[in-house]
Structure 1
Amino acid sequence: MEFQLLAADSGSKARAGIITTDHGQIETPIFMPVGTVGSVKAVNQQQLKEEIKAQIILGNTYHLYLRPGTEILEEAGGLHKFNGWDRPILTDSGGYQVFSLSNNRKLTEEGAMFQSHIDGSRHLFTPERVMDIQRSIGADIIMAFDECPPYPSEYLYAKNSMELTHRWLARCIQRLGETEPKYGYRQTLFPIVQGSTYKDLRKASAEFVAAAECEGNAIGGLSVGEPEEMMYEMCALCCEYLPESKPRYLMGVGTPWNILENISLGVDMFDCVMPTRNGRNGMLFTSKGVVNIKNKKWANDFTPIDDGIDCYTSNFYTKAYLRHLFVASEILALEIASIHNLAFYLHLVKQAREHIIAGDYNQWKNEMIPILKQRC
């Protein structure tokens, strides 16, 4: 993987670049739709390419390991061949899912023993096993196995968790050095900064991760319940110590305004289930603000969902029609809302990139955020 910085904003730490992988280029800053089980919910691959204009999507090690399993993925030739997506893929290591199963898992130095949410069967994820699974999945960018501490966490817990994540990283790097990609193209490891909301731990973790000299770095353990301002503070601190010459990925974030603020702090890559999950519940993010499409006020609104973005679905369907589909519990509503929200997120980061290159990103961001936050 290669990362080239093309421009930096004069009024913030926002930057524009290009990530080059064996499955194509990614223009940063970028938002990555989440396809947990190899599928972005309610959206097909053609829509992802042509309407949403996604450049990279995510898969999840935990879920793909359980279903369909590594044997089927290997027989298919990897996730790219299995789901028909010929652009870059990133896989989350499953650390967050193991964190979310806190009542059904046990952490040790060796790894994480957990129960499947599907059938209750027990499984052990070690750093080595997670690297092997991600070799089988075949993603272009793979994540180190980490523990994501909850918020709030006691200082000692956060410290021990961070140190365990660091030891696991060393094992991940060693395992990758002992194995080869299975499908003839390169795979890149991103380690993950942890440390909860403690400044000294975040600094120590960012320095440790930077010293590993991987080709990109991730910031984890945020957007897990902490206040927004605390998230921004921790992110800014991490970016201060992570090298400028490599892409920075803030995991699991967030709202459109969260993304714009964190771009200004120096983050290049984002993912979140929010656009699809909220879309399926009738919340739309638009160029004019947040819309609850189930509200009766839209029953007679025959204007497009959002004519401020370049997306067929957003321009073609009306608010009144989409509201009707939700009220009627029609499955098409979930598809339209998901496509629109993802298209809006990709439109937003494309705009951000253009303003970074133009040198007026910070001014544009400060004008946009109040608009994005308003309830229509």
Structure 2
Amino acid sequence: MLLTAPELLKDATRSVVVRAQARGGPVPSVILKHFRDDGVCGLDDWAGAEFLTRKGVELGPRFLAGDVAARLFVLEDLGRGPTLEALLRGGDARAAHGGLMATARNTGQLHVKTLGTQATYDLVRQALPPRPERVRVENARFLLDNEGRLLRWLAAVQAEAAPGTHEDLEEIARALADPGPLLAFTHGDMAPSNVLFTPGGPRLLDFEYAGMRHALYDALMWLVTVPFPDELVSRADITYRITLSAHCEAAQEDSVWARARATVALARTVNVFQWLPPRVLEEDREWAPGFSERAALLHHLARCRALLAPAEGFPGLARTLETLEARLRERWTVPPFSWPAFRQDER
């Protein structure tokens, strides 16, 4: 296969991404990814694409080849098209609505097709230089090892953790480390910019944080992390759940589903306070385009509170986060974020 007409797509700290025309190969053009600074993320990206290709799951680019020594692998080029973020930033509310529902449906299909495939995934990932720890165990360990960062936030707003907070964090960490029937291959970074709409439907890009973990980790995109109108959050949740429930009994029972959502929502909300230091009390910065760190913290707290309402358990951590939210809302007045596609609907 002869590669010609290279086009630089990304030259970030972590990786370099190039599109090239391919002569004599199975596809007309390819994507070359060279990971230079973070070997674990680069190899997780490689393993995710190769795993899905071997499984015949056509929800991302096909893996074609790779060279560990060169820190380089080659993917099918999915072509050009709008991302979910582009639809959300556009002026067509119907397209944005449909894009989110298609994303939720495809996410459910990804998980349905990979439920309980840890051994198969391990064959792919461990054939590469192995990662030091399974990603879901890494996530659980981070939650517990950095409990002190949450406590520093409480001290900064002159509040204390409610009794039972530590025990609730331990219970959540156990569920992350062992999600039972909800163990599936997850993308791990379901940002709207990582969903590309192609003639064959939505496809996922960039598997740098992929791995086998709690399936609802990917559902966090609409449940907690990205601001959407409440109606769309409910519709995306139902769409995803219906898709998953065809092959997963855990998605069929309301109480189990509510607890699963609360588990991942609590973990992610605590994570945000572990990632961001209390300096946000004094200085607000951009978290994402048009969305500040303070807005992100308050959004996570509000969405987490809404998801805890129908769930049972975690009373200590729930009270701690409610206290933290009340103290922060006393200090901050943050205008609500709205995607351009939905602004006409809100008038």
Structures share a fold, TM > 0.5?
no
Higher helix proportion: 2
For normalisation by structure 1, the TM-score amounts to 0.28
For normalisation by structure 2, the TM-score amounts to 0.30
